[in-house]
Amino acid sequence: MNKVLETGPLKFSRRLKLYAALVLLVIVSAAVIFAVFAGKRSGVVQYKTDQARRGDLVVIVTATGTLQPTNKVDVGSELSGTIKSVEVDYNSKVKAGQILARLDTTKLEATIAQSRASLESAKAKVQQAQATVVETKAKLSQYQKVWDLSGGKVPSQTEMDAARAAYERAKADAANYSAMVSQSQAALKANLTDLSKTVIKSPINGIVLTRSIEPGQTVAASFTAPVLFTLAEDLTKMDLHVNVDEADIGKVQEGQKAVFSVAAYPNRMFEAGITQARYGSSTTSGVVTYETVLKVSNPDLSLRPGMTATADITVKKLENVILISSAALRFTPPVQQEKKTSTGLVGALLPRPPKSGSQQRDSLAAGKQQRRIWTLKNGKLTPVSITIGASNGGVTEVTSGDIQPGTEVVTDVITGTKK
């Protein structure tokens, strides 16, 4: 027999086909083993439940802010000058009218002396002008008598006109000097007022929070009054200004109670009450908040201005209502997988289309408060329609529906396997 010699390319092609057949055989074997193994195991779905109960529900809104004095006053100086003395220090308790600091008055006192001299000079000129008025009036009267006796022949008309003009000028000078007296008096009064302002006094009863001046420093009050002291009125009563998120501001009202804590006293809670929920908003990094003011009692002065506080505002308090875990409202039943009808190799290898199932809640036709939850009856899920009320995030009030205390409601799913 004649042997046919295999050329190089033909031999390589046969080897390639052999390797491909071996790889396909391995894949098919693995798929069969997987299908058989999967067929021996069945999925078991277990559910986590929580009992409905009757109890009290407290709904709170949390907000952060800072403590501020009820009334804070910045005390400055209307005058420029050099600080002669400072009478108070930080944390000094002051009363209304108490001296805080004094300005040097040397230059102002010289100005006052000059104003007094100007006033006296003006008064002297008034007296001189009044004497001139009397003199010119007497001369005019004398001319008038001679005029009448002479039948208008003596003195001449020119002399009569000159006498009348002199009299009128004397009266005008007297009025002018009288005005100068008033002007000098006003200037003196203004200088005396400035002298009184060199003594800086407290406008309120309170405590000194800040002091930004020292003796010898110069105060320049050309356009605005520089702030020398910051006073807080009665720190036993303070305000807490918090920023409430726009999602919660609709629940916050005046008169509601709150508790808050500060970092200085982590184990202590302070009480407060809302006095004002302002309509003006502020936006920070895209977050809209509304400023709310709470009144705080601080009899032991533990709290200080500027402290950061976290407040829990009680916006609703319900007693003896049916409560369920809020997780039950978020539970969605899993897709129920159908049993395999074919265990063939093609069925194991080819992907199968997804099975239809109820994965979403029904539309809320009855309003935003209508919800569907699930309970377990004989190990099977049973839907229950309820109407919910207030919630604090952890538990939710049930206002109507077939839910009684002790009812097991499904909150989560636990998937396990068994051999």
The DSSP code sequence of 86-132 is E---TT-EE-TT-EEEEE--HHHHHHHHHHHHHHHHHHHHHHHHHHH
* Model confidence at 382: pLDDT above 70: yes
Average confidence (pLDDT) over 194-211: 94
Q: Which CATH class is domain 110-178?
A: mainly alpha
Give 49-70 pLDDT, tens digit per residue.
999 999 999 999 999 999 999 9
- Confidence tier at 362 by pLDDT (50, 70, 90): very low
Cβ atoms within 10 Å of 332's Cβ, excluding its own = 12
357 close to 416: Cβ distance less than 8 angstroms:
no
Backbone angles phi and psi of 338, in degrees to 5: -80, 155
Q: How big is the CA angle at 288 (ends 285 and 290), to the nearest 5 degrees? A: 130
Pairing between β-strand 99-103 and β-strand 199-201 as defined by DSSP bridges? antiparallel
248 close to 76: Cβ distance less than 8 angstroms:
no
User: Average pLDDT of the chain?
Assistant: 85
Which of 34-48, 246-260, 391-405 is most confident?
246-260
Distance between CA atoms of 80 and 86, rounded to whole angstroms? 16
Which residues contact residue 251 at a Cβ distance below 8 angstroms, ignoring those fewer than 6 apart?
A: 59, 61, 315, 316
* Model confidence at 354: pLDDT above 50: no
The residues spanned by each domain of the chain are 43-56+322-336+359-418, 62-69+236-318, 110-178
Distance between CA atoms of 408 and 266, rounded to whole angstroms? 38
pTM check: above 0.85:
no
- CATH domain 43-56+322-336+359-418 topology: 2.40.420
Task: Report pLDDT for 43.
Answer: 53
Which residues contact residue 194 at a Cβ distance below 8 angstroms, ignoring those fewer than 6 apart?
A: 79, 108
* Model confidence at 125: pLDDT above 90: yes
Average confidence (pLDDT) over 75-84: 93
- Extract the tokens encoding 229: 């002291």
Alpha carbon of 302 to those of 37, 67, 269, 274, 417: distances in Å?
A: 70, 12, 12, 20, 60
Average confidence (pLDDT) over 274-300: 95
Least confident of 36-50, 85-99, 126-140: 36-50
Q: Does domain 62-69+236-318 have CATH number 3.30.365.10?
A: no
Distance between CA atoms of 237 and 148, rounded to whole angstroms? 88
Task: Report pLDDT for 27.
Answer: 79
Burial class (CB in 10 A: 0-12, 13-18, 19+), 41: exposed
